Structure 1
């Protein structure tokens, strides 16, 4: 039996993964549950682990694997059915915790994307990577990019990761996107539209948010998955 706070936290993590493909940070958990400090989140996570709903993975920052969900969240299916990591370290691929893994498909790796300052855009296929079909959205074309830099580490995206991108020229505020800056440099950032400008926001306090006139930014894709090698 879970307490209301424990259930609220588990549901918040699960819902956020399903919606955005990126898990919430501890600060976001604290705000969502209206707690005064992150120590309360740590206690709730420990309780969920002791009850067998989650498992923390060693040597990976804030890595949490969802093992099962209560009926009130899963709709009757208590097992997540996969071995994906639902955490800021596990990355967006964790969004598929309750989707069956079917076939796999090859995606072109279109060079590197900056998770730092923008780098020159690369549009030539460098290699291919095999991803599970369950990681991809049901419509649209997809491609992959190798991440260079640490500006998105608080979103669970590390240097050397492979991000899976759905091609699109639109995005909602807060989405993680491939943004083409001034027609020749590409970067991976959260996008926001404020005061008539477009802001590209890192997920690392060491990097400042950069604002550009709207005509200097083109969205070339939205993050839908992540692959990491250990």
Structure 2
């Protein structure tokens, strides 16, 4: 799965290679994606390379080779949707097993599993559905779409969120102080943290003293959703 920015960059590189026979420079990629620094491009390139979509050729300037392109053509970004399930999956994956018994299909709903979210140092924002899981209707009550993310890291352990847990998120773009949210930082990275507004600054607080609170100007942080449920496998 790729983020919206990763997809944009991969598509831009492919278009330039097809049109001119050579990849764009880092400056051209930065301008095309409207980023403020080339460090953001470096992180995107590294992520694409790690996922096997591109290859950097040694000892050649501006040498990027596209290895593959995602099968999906979705470009809409972080737009999870709710799918109402008519039955409970007969063989759920171990990592998404429910700690409660769903008595009937009428009491359950399938929601998209969007991949992993960092409870630690932010990782790339999630943009595409990787699977679906079935959860009790009570967990997704209320207005708005819901989606699930697998937690990576231990920065929220004192809030009862462990590495490997699956969190259920209600999609929304605002938050109250103290809410645990999915926060998108600089349109590049996503993390699960407690939200605090301090004037025109946003603090993303960990629930583990080993991690420092990270503070950003409010225009650099976008709330993607609020934590409303937790699924744990024992």
So what's the TM-score if we normalise by structure 2? 0.55
Structure 1 equivalent of residue 179 of structure 2: 175
Alignment correspondent of 1:139: 143
Does 2:116 match 1:108? no
Q: Does 1:214 align with 2:215?
A: no
**SS of structure 1 residue aligned to 2:167:** strand
Instruction: Identify which of 124, 131, 151 aligns with 2:128.
Output: 124
Which residue number corresponds to residue 230 of structure 2? Answer: 226
1:137 touches 1:224 (CA, 8 Å); kept in 2? no
CA contact (8 A) 1:167 1:220 kept: yes
Kept in 2: contact 1:137–1:166 (CA 8 A): no
Q: What is the number of residues matched between the two proteins?
A: 133
Asked if 2 retains the 8 angstrom alpha-carbon contact of 1:144 and 1:164, the reply is yes
Deviation digits for residues 54-100 of structure 1 (CA, Å, limit 9, x no counterpart): xxxxxxxxxxxxxxxxxxxxxxxxxxxxxxxxxxxxxxx99xxxxxx
Q: Deviations 1:170-209 (Å, cap 9, x if unpaired)?
A: 1000000000001110000000011420000000000000
Asked if 1:159 corresponds to 2:163, the answer is yes
Taking only aligned residues, the RMSD between alpha carbons, in angstroms, comes to 2.0
Q: How far 1:138 moved relative to its partner?
A: 2.0
Q: How far apart are 1:112 and its partner, in Å? A: 0.5
In structure 2, list runs of 5 or more residues that go unmatched. Answer: 1-97, 100-105
Counterpart secondary structure, 2:164:
coil
Deviations 1:129-167 (A, max 9, x none): 110001113211000000000000000000000000000
Counterpart for residue 22 of structure 2 = none
> Could you say which structure has the larger radius of gyration?
2
Over 4 Å off, 4+ runs: none
Kept after mapping to 2: 8 A contact 1:109/1:143: yes
Partner of 2:83: none
Q: State the alpha-carbon separation in 1 of the partners of residues 138 and 108 from structure 2.
A: 8
CA distance in 2, matches of 1:207, 1:137: 32
CA deviations over 1:12-67 (Å, ceiling 9, x no partner) = xxxxxxxxxxxxxxxxxxxxxxxxxxxxxxxxxxxxxxxxxxxxxxxxxxxxxxxx
